[in-house]
Amino acid sequence: MALGLYTDAVSAAKKANSVRTWKEVNAACVRAGEFKLAQAAGLHIIVSPDHMEDLILSYESAGHWEHLITLLEQGIVLEGAHQGIFTELGVMYSRYRPEALMAHIRANVSRINTSKLLRACEQGRHWQEAVYTLTETEDFDGAVKLMMEHSPTAFDAGRFMEIISRVRNAELLYTALSFFVEEEPALLLKLLHTLMPKLDHTRVVHQFKKIPDAFPVLLPYLKAAQKDDLVAVNEAVNQLLVEEEDVEGLRASIDAHPNFDQVGLAQRLEKHELLELRRIAALLYKKNKRWEASIALSKQDSQFKDAIDTASASKEQGLAEALLNFFVQKGDKSASRPPFLPATRLSARTWLWSSRGARASRTASCLS
């Protein structure tokens, strides 16, 4: 080699078939700029994991990274190619040719030392490639954390939705909800429905009550979660329906999902400016056998049929008589003997206690 006979040196190294000899020939060819011959020698070196690191260091320290990448690209097709070659090529791509990194990972992820490659991706801030690597190696927790920590560069909505339900650390689910409130609010409902089987719905309610602006967005999710009839969920749904003044929705929620503080809701609704919501308050008092409160609220709002129905449901004589006295004092003397009843000895008390729906209905009509 001292004579510059590099081709002859490569031929002699083939006969010697020694890694030490190949390293000497490779180093001499690199110094001389004979990179094709250096590559021929290098292919015999990189197949030995114990000697590959020194070769890579010598190329890179001399600034010959392009020739090093070419050598490694030739090395991955060798019959004796090992994990180190695929990994080091990925590391070189991450440093010098990042546009080739993703394709290399996609094609060879199963043959790469992912820990080393991920460190290289972190150093080069190649977050998308890192997320792909973590996902393909089923480190879903790591992939989800990385997407949230390095959004928007690393975040991909489709991939996130695919893997979020596969994380092992349940705390990440709630971290993801907070992340979506800040970063991807338009996708929050989709995330909630995706995670519904894995979420503690009561915890979600408590978490979002601390975020007033985002809380109303939860309503469709909470309605779906009402199937479990949880107190916190039912009360959250009812609160949002009251805020929206959705009377029919609130009635449906109360009827189908009774597990909540009914008296507490009645107390909040009895002073509401909307009549129909005050009627729901009277209904809740009735459901909880707070007859006096229900009748008083119905009388206050001139909802006499509601008052009569409540008195009838109570089966308490005193309440019936008090309601009759109220009608008499009010001047509604027709209440003591409705015009559609024949003149009999039936007392007003007997009439009020009648459970026949038609009579109650017509009586309310007369009183309204």
Is residue 16 very low, low, confident or very high in pLDDT (cuts 50, 70, 90)?
confident
Residue 1 has pLDDT above 70, yes or no: no
Per-residue pLDDT at 345: 33
64/58 Cα distance (integer angstroms): 9
What pLDDT shows up at residue 80? 84
- Model pLDDT, residue 116: 97
pLDDT tens digit sequence for 251-269: 999 999 999 999 999 999 9
Distance CA 69, CA 35 (A): 12
**Nearest-CA neighbor of 136 among 112, 120, 152?**
112
Q: What is the pLDDT of residue 366?
A: 41
**Which pLDDT does position 4 carry in this prediction?**
52
Mean pLDDT of 6-17: 80
pLDDT at 329: 86
Q: How far apart are CA 176 and CA 182, in angstroms?
A: 10
Which tokens go with 256? 């189908």
pLDDT at 365 over 80: no
pTM of the model: 0.79
Please give the helix or strand (H or E) that residue 94 lies within, else none.
Answer: helix 83-96
Per-residue model confidence (pLDDT) at position 111: 96
Question: Of all residues in the chain, what percent carry a pLDDT higher than 70?
Answer: 89
SS3 category, 318: helix
The CA distances from residue 39 to 28, 56, 169, 212, 264, in Å, are 12, 12, 47, 65, 82
Whether a cis peptide bond, with omega within 30° of 0, leads into 339 is no
- pLDDT tens, residue by residue, 301-359: 999 999 999 999 999 999 989 998 998 888 755 444 433 333 333 344 444 445 334 34
CA pair distance 127, 138, nearest whole angstrom: 16
**Residue 94 backbone phi and psi in degrees, to 5:** -65, -30
pLDDT over 90, % of the chain: 78
Does 53 have pLDDT greater than 60?
yes
What average pLDDT does the chain have? 88
Residue 195 has a pLDDT of 97
